[in-house]
Amino acid sequence: MLLLPALIIVVIAVAVYAHRNKDRRRCRWRQSKVGSKGALIKYNCITCGAEAFRSTGPPDRCLAAIDAPRL
């Protein structure tokens, strides 16, 4: 009798955990030393193909939908 409520709680907990930080997990950023420009380091996303030039580390979200001008 207690198994059904426990199973429902486990399913809800797994669903909440799987949805957490969904935007960040979508992109996987890799540093590229070939395209770097001085202090700006080039990062390429191996999932969506987006490129970013940053000096503070890799981006923390997906940049595929942002139409930013390139350097």
User: Does residue 44 sit within a domain?
Assistant: yes
pLDDT (0 to 100) of residue 47: 81
pTM beyond 0.75, yes or no: no
20 vs 58, residue with greater confidence: 58
User: Does residue 32 sit within a domain?
Assistant: yes
Can you give the residue range of the structural domain that contains 39? 24-56
**In total, how many domains does the chain have?**
1
Tallying the residues shown for the chain, one arrives at 71
User: Does residue 38 sit within a domain?
Assistant: yes
User: Does residue 68 sit within a domain?
Assistant: no
User: Does residue 47 sit within a domain?
Assistant: yes
User: Does residue 4 sit within a domain?
Assistant: no
Q: pLDDT digit string (tens) for 5-45?
A: 999 999 999 888 877 766 555 778 898 878 788 889 999 88
Can you tell me the mean pLDDT for 40-66?
84
User: Does residue 2 sit within a domain?
Assistant: no
Please enumerate in sequence order all residues whose Cβ is within 8 A of that of 29, keeping only pairs 6 or more positions apart, or say none.
43, 44, 45, 46, 52, 58, 59
pLDDT at residue 2 greater than cutoff 70: yes
Query: How far is the C-alpha of 13 from the C-alpha of 71, rounded, in Å?
Result: 43
User: Does residue 30 sit within a domain?
Assistant: yes
